[in-house]
Structure 1
Amino acid sequence: MMHTNLIGKTVLVVEDDPKIRHLIKIYLMKEGYEVIEAIDGHDAKEKIEQLDPCILVLDLMLPKISGEEICRWVREDLTSMMPIIMLTAKASEKNKIEGFKLGADDYVVKPFSPAELMVRIEAVLRRTANRCSKLSFTGFTIKPIKGEALFKGEKLELTHFEFKLLHTFMQHPNQVLSREQILNFIYENNEKAVTDRTIDVHIKHLRGKIREKTPKDYIQTVRGMGYKFVGV
């Protein structure tokens, strides 16, 4: 099972074969990743600039712009350290060396095992955890470093505590969290500024701000246990 701190990471899958792209997407979504798809090199450049994914799974033999050119563009033009896993039928040692020289973090040869690809993605994300500055889940995006929270691209105006609450929920999606657990996640060294019951008020306010954007109740009350942040 994937470690909690990887849940919500956004993966851009650049692959022109729809069957392979769909297969990878299914496996990624099962593991809790948010998946963006690109069908060619031009589409990939647009998605990278617009959506700033946490990791790139990149086929090399692409229409319009090759995977090698995309990798070079990310590293040299964007000067981005976005993790890149090359996924390709180019299996020679020379191809692999060229891929790593271009800036790839890993190199997976087709045909490949989807389960192994998931492990490799997880391993790369663990090694490069400091390169991803956002977390995404079911339409929500949170940028802890910038203190920004968005729902489907629209900014949520949250207090500091509400922001911490949403961040905690997004790090533990589909898990029932007690009030005590939530406070322990938010405050270090047990330095709690609010009581267990006060948290209900903050969650009520957070729910209200979310409902200004959508009627869906993403934060569910689990009677006698706590709260659960759910997906679609």
Structure 2
Amino acid sequence: MTPRKILIVDDDQKIRSLLKTYLEKNQYDVLLAHDGASFMAEFERHRDEISLCILDVMLPDTEGFTLCQSVRRRSEVPVIMLTASADETDRIVGLELGADDYLGKPFNPRELLARIKAITRRAGQDKPREPRYYDFNGFTLDLLERSLIDPDGTATALSGMDFQLLKLLVEHPGEVLDRSRLAEVTRGRDLGPLDRSLDVQVSRLRQRLQDDGKQPALIKTVRGSGYVFSTTVTSRHGP
């Protein structure tokens, strides 16, 4: 899984270094900023990759509250506010502006980590993000549109069973998938001893992939077992 990316802004260099070291030991990818301007530059550069922002309230060029508002106008990414102030008003203002949590300084890094995990768990970020596209042999399977794009760029909508079959194949390239598993995914049931419906479906999918039925290069038959998707597959989240 790609490391979860956290963007931290704090004008205290020691705190930045401490958090970067501690969070990276816990499998997070950490970006640092020392003031509001550098924070916004990093946020815009990595907006689609950031899992959470940690904002110090008091910064040399702005307030963390202002940054929180700017983030909320652009994204729903979770935000944790940090402040050295003992004033309860800071916490209330931060939450009203869209922050998800608040932690007073000084703080224990373990407590911050626990809060990060709690927020990302609620936001569903602990689950790996499923790619949208799978690319292979000039073809692209679009999971959102449930379509197959050929090497010429033409998209063709897939039937439910064809889509489920191809999705399973591209998610497990080089792995022998037995007939019972393929049937369960595409039909929700086991195949009878004389049921050839799966073979017909594979044949139809081979035609869509311009895969020679007599000597297939992509979907190969493993006699007595099932089928294997015999090609290199790459996945991505966006164009």
- The TM-score normalised by the length of structure 1 is 0.58
More helix by share: 1
**Greater RCO, 1 or 2 (C-alpha within 8 Å, sep 6+):** 1
Alignment of 1:91-130 (within 5 A): 91-129=86-124
Q: Which amino acid aligns with 1:61?
A: M
Q: 2:68 aligns with which of 58, 71, 74?
A: 71
Q: 1:27 aligns with which of 15, 22, 28?
A: 22
Counterpart-to-counterpart distance in 1, 2:127 and 2:96:
25
Q: Secondary structure at the match of 2:81?
A: strand
Query: Is structure 2 residue 55 aligned with structure 1 residue 55?
Result: no
Q: Which amino acid aligns with 1:17?
A: D
Query: Is structure 2 residue 185 aligned with structure 1 residue 191?
Result: yes
What per-residue deviation string (whole Å, max 9, x for no partner) do you get for residues 54-89 of structure 1? Answer: 1101111112222111011122x32x2111000111
Runs (5+) with no aligned partner, structure 2:
142-166, 187-201, 203-218
Q: Secondary structure at the match of 2:55?
A: strand
Counterpart-to-counterpart distance in 2, 1:163 and 1:12:
33
Counterpart-to-counterpart distance in 2, 1:190 and 1:116:
44
* Per-residue deviation, 1:165: 6.3
Q: Which has the larger radius of gyration?
A: 2
Q: Secondary structure at the match of 1:112?
A: coil
RMSD: 3.8
Runs (5+) with no aligned partner, structure 1:
136-142, 150-156, 167-178, 210-232
Matched length:
166
Aligned-pair identity (%): 35
- The TM-score normalised by the length of structure 2 is 0.57
* Per-residue deviation, 1:38: 1.1
Counterpart-to-counterpart distance in 2, 1:10 and 1:71:
17
Contact 1:9 1:134 in 2 (8 A): no
